[in-house]
Structure 1
Amino acid sequence: MEQEVEMQQSWRDDDRKCTFIILARDLLHARNTCDDSTQLDIPPPPSDKQVDGICVYPKLVVQTLHAMIGDINLFLSEDDEEVSEYLQNSNNKCQDGSVSNTPAIVQQAELDVMIARPSHRNKGLGAELALIMMHYGASVLKITRFFVKIKDTNASSLRLFRDKLGFSQCAYAECFGEYELERKCKSASEMVKWIENKWTLCGVKRSRLYDLHKCPLS
């Protein structure tokens, strides 16, 4: 239990990790409202209750546990090319050759999507969720490069990122049998435009995506 608490705390406090649990709308209980419309039975916003310094949301977890089908993550890191360019810029160097005010350049993120329930695979959720997470990363975190690492035996993920989303292969680790695919833009705003264009090309309704931005459930 103590190790689990420490792990949860490390993930919570690590500003280089963004993790969202994926909930399936069709598995959430629906209820009829007074105006005869139907709404999802989603618990109210969690309180600030803490246990051992960690916020816990028992009602939210218990009431949505049956609807959890996977997770999606962003792992942030520095873009080596951007750091190298910064270090080579003479304007950033002092007279003694040292570098002044080196920034924490976080402009790239590894994207990881997992749909654990077989019943919810091959329904277009992977593309939809990837685009939502990338839009958040580009518009809020100013990410200019997204990349994925995929085993060469994972045909479905390769089709998703290479064929459907248009990621380009940038590396292959033969010893691990793993491809690295990327999508890179010159600026975060350019990345946002590319993502929004992909929404249409992938046949995803923008209204639904904006709805998921407000309530990150799928």
Structure 2
Amino acid sequence: MHINATTVIVGDKVVLVPYLPEHVPAYHEWMQNEELQALTASEPLTLEEEYDMQRKWREDPDKLTFIVLARQTGDGLDSSQVLGPHDACVKALPMIGDVNIFLHGKETDEEFYGEAEVMIAEKEYRRRGCAREALQLLLGYATASSVGHFICHKPPPQPDQSSLLPLPPTALLVRISESNVPSIKLFEGLGFQVTKRVEVFAEVEMRWRAGAA
């Protein structure tokens, strides 16, 4: 079983749930948007291809993917609850984006890293702190720690044959278009520093550094 096959993480603003088949139609609709394609460096897929991608993301041991749901007033959820992705109170929440870590290499490799990404697709939920909290929750869960500005609301992930988690925080990396100043500032606030500029792709590479935030 994939490490986040049933994991639900509850924050103050958002809830993270596994990427399930019922999420695919909405995700497919998002990714027909040219702005989101540009921001995520993605190509549009057919609906069938999107279902294939969902299965791959769920099954591959090098991908940790969550759908971001928005908390609602009076939903009654709190971070101490043990919830499943099919619970009615979770399924009632609106889907607003996704947050991921893609693992590259083996833990014993010198160049091993986990590349983090976040997308808030629904415009009405942008600039509300949803992306920041989604990242805090995911990075706290993936590293089994609350270092810096991360949050860990779940028991530490246990390493097994299907996962390289938990990650050392220093293995975290992001790549962002150098023109995407809000995203760069978001990750700086979470303890990431620009460590490389890739001019051919007009992007920056950022890594987590202790004490950087």
Normalised by the length of structure 2, the TM-score is: 0.55
Residue 18 (structure 1) aligns with: 64
Where in structure 2 are there 5+ consecutive unaligned residues? Answer: 1-46, 78-82, 145-156, 158-164
- Quote how far apart the aligned CAs of 1:108 are: 2.3
- 2:68–2:97: 8 Å Cα contact kept in structure 1? yes
Please name the residue that 1:142 is paired with: 166
Runs of 4+ in structure 1 deviating by more than 6 angstroms, as ranges, are 59-62
Task: Tell me the equivalent position of 1:78.
Answer: 105
Kept in 1, the 8 Å contact 2:66–2:100? The answer is yes
Q: Greater helix share, 1 or 2?
A: 1
Distance 1:11 1:158, change over 3 A: same
Find the counterpart in structure 1 of residue 153 from structure 2: none
Q: How many residues align?
A: 141
Equivalent position of 1:165 in the other structure: 190
- The residue correspondences of 1:33-112 to structure 2 (distance < 5 A) are 39=76, 45=84, 63-64=92-93, 67-78=94-105, 82-84=108-110, 108-112=113-117
Counterpart CA distance in 1 for 2:135 and 2:98 is 11
Alpha-carbon offset, residue 130 of structure 1: 1.3
Partner of 2:128: 123
Max Rg structure: 1
- Tell me what 2:202 maps to: 177
Separation in structure 1 between the aligned mates of residue 51 and residue 128 of structure 2, nearest angstrom: 34
| TM-score of the pair, normalised by structure 1 | 0.54
- Runs of 5+ unmatched residues, structure 1: 31-37, 47-56, 85-104, 186-193, 202-218
Distance 2:180 2:106 in 1: 26
| Partner amino acid, structure 1, of 2:109 | V
Task: Select 1:9's aligned residue among 36, 49, 55.
Answer: 55
Alpha-carbon distance in 2 for matches of 1:26, 1:138: 28
Decide whether aligned partners of structure 1 residues 6 and 79 sit closer, same or farther in structure 2, where only a CA change above 3 A counts.
Answer: closer
Label 1:175 to 1:78 Cα distance change in 2 as closer, same or farther (>3 A).
same
Percent of pairs with identical residues: 34
How much does 1:14 deviate? 0.4
